[in-house]
Each structure stands twice: as structure tokens, then as C-alpha cells.
Amino acid sequence: MAELALLRQVHGTVVVAPAVPSGAAGGRPEGDAWAGRPEPGRLLGILTADCLPVVLVHPPSGRLAVIHAGWRGAVGGVAEAALAALGVPAGEVLAALGPAIGPCCYQVGEEVAAAVGARSPHLSPWPGAPGHCAFDLPGALRERLLTAGVRTQHIDPLAPCTHCDADRFYSHRRAAEPQRLVAFAGWRPGGRP
């Protein structure tokens, strides 16, 4: 029987170790990423609806990271923090980017553009909306992983747009739906590590 552990997400950069009690014993620990080697059968999960879920795996050690990255977390360095917490060579890490709002739909204002950096290649003018930009959150996160040493061929950049695909995904911006997507990773009971 698998157990799903979740976090109390705050758009920060705190990384939580899988050994921290959760569920009935300790509630949800506050943080925006898991990193470490979970016991088999313990699933490390995060919730999203437009924010970007990222899963990192280091096959040689069985260490995993599951990351919740909105623009604040991405700019703040939550992915780098999770990578560092894994404590393994970045060049050996496999990464997958899950469904998130894409640059096709993610209109941001000056606050976000200023935080991201006006010269970021992941910002582009939003047609007909002066002062607003389209932000490529998955693209920005992918670049941060590359800069941190993750190899291009080790990143699955699929990241379909949650806002475009109402049949498959929830989107906070499309309908302010209370539902969330769950991204999780773990090892099967009786399996690795």
C-alpha cells in the first residue's frame, strides 16, 4: 500500500527531506520541494494547477526530488535548491517537466517581468497588452536546470499547457477551479532502493 506525502506549499524554496513526518502524525511540512531517498511505498507529491511540477531522479542512488515551481519559486531557485539537496552530480540527474501554463497563455505584469529580468529570453511582449508579457515558465526552469549542470539529453521538456488543454488538466487561471493535479515520485513497495 503506497502512502502519498504532500507539502504545505508557499511558493518558496524550502526543500523537505522524505523522512520528515507527514500525514496524521505531522500534517504537511511547509516547503515547495521534496529531495532525498524515500522508503519504498512512500510517494513524494506536490499539487499544481498552472504551476510547474518537476521530477528529478538520480538512478544510481535512488534519490528523487519533486518540485513545485511557480514564477516565484523558479526565480527564487527552488529547482537549484532541490538539486543541491539531492547531493549528487547534476550530470547524472534525469529531469521531467510536467503540465504547466505555457507561454501561449501565461500573461504576466510588471512585477513578474521585473523579477524574471527584463532581458530574459523567456519573456516576450503580449500582443495588445502594453506592459504585459508572456512568460515561458517551463523554458525558464529548464534553463536553470541546464545552468546547474543537468544535461540537455536528460531533460524531458514535455510540459503541455494546462490552460490550453481543459480535457486533461486543471488550470487555476482558466476557471479558478479548486482542483489540483498531483505530481509524485517514489519507489514501488518491495522495489528500489
CB of 5 to Zn ion, least distance (A): 30
Question: Is the bond preceding residue 125 a cis peptide, omega within 30 degrees?
Answer: no
C-alpha cell belonging to residue 21: 513526518
Asked if 46 touches Zn ion (CB under 5 A), the answer is: no
| 163 touching Zn ion, by CB under 5 A | yes
**C-alpha cell read off for 67:** 518540485
Are 76 and 32 in contact by the 8 Å Cβ rule? The answer is: no
Beta bridge partners of 43: 4
| Contact present, 7 and 20 (Cβ < 8 Å) | no
d(CA 48, CA 181): 5
Q: Which of 35, 97, 161, 183 binds Zn ion (CB under 5 A)?
A: 161
Task: Report the nearest approach of Zn ion to the CB of residue 128 (Å).
Answer: 17
Quick one: 74 or 159, whose CB is closer to Zn ion? 159
Nearest distance, CB of residue 127 and Zn ion, angstroms: 14
Could you give the string, one character per residue 76-105, with x where binding to Zn ion holds by CB under 5 A and - elsewhere?
Answer: --------------------------x-xx
Q: Which of 94, 148, 164, 182 contacts Zn ion by CB under 5 A?
A: 164
Residue 60 burial (C-beta neighbours within 10 Å; 0-12, 13-18, 19+)? exposed
Which CB sits closer to Zn ion, 124 or 147? 124
Footprint of Zn ion (CB under 5 A)? 102, 104-105, 161, 163-164
